Amino acid sequence: MKEMYTSLKNTNTPHGDGPKLLDRVHNKIRLKHHPLRTGNYYCGWIKRYILFRHKHYPNEIGADGVEAFLSH
């Protein structure tokens, strides 16, 4: 999971011209041959996390933000 997060984190900026974060997650999930439903669940968690953090891009939020989300 850490490898996937690092590769997603290092690609494009929030306002770049490349694929959006959730598209990159789905692509990475497909590349690893995980079920489509797994990608949907991951994207659901990412969406909830972004909304919890007041729509800040995940690259802008550190470990403290993740901990606050998981313990709320």
At 31-47, the pLDDT tens digits run: 999 998 988 998 998 88
pTM over 0.85: no
pLDDT at 66 over 80: no
**Looking at residues 45-51, what average pLDDT do you find?**
86
**Is it the case that residue 19 has pLDDT exceeding 60?**
yes
Task: State which H helix or E strand residue 27 sits in.
Answer: helix 21-31
- Residue the block writes with tokens 């909830």: 48
**Residue 49: what pLDDT?**
84
Contact 19, 36 (CB under 8 A): no
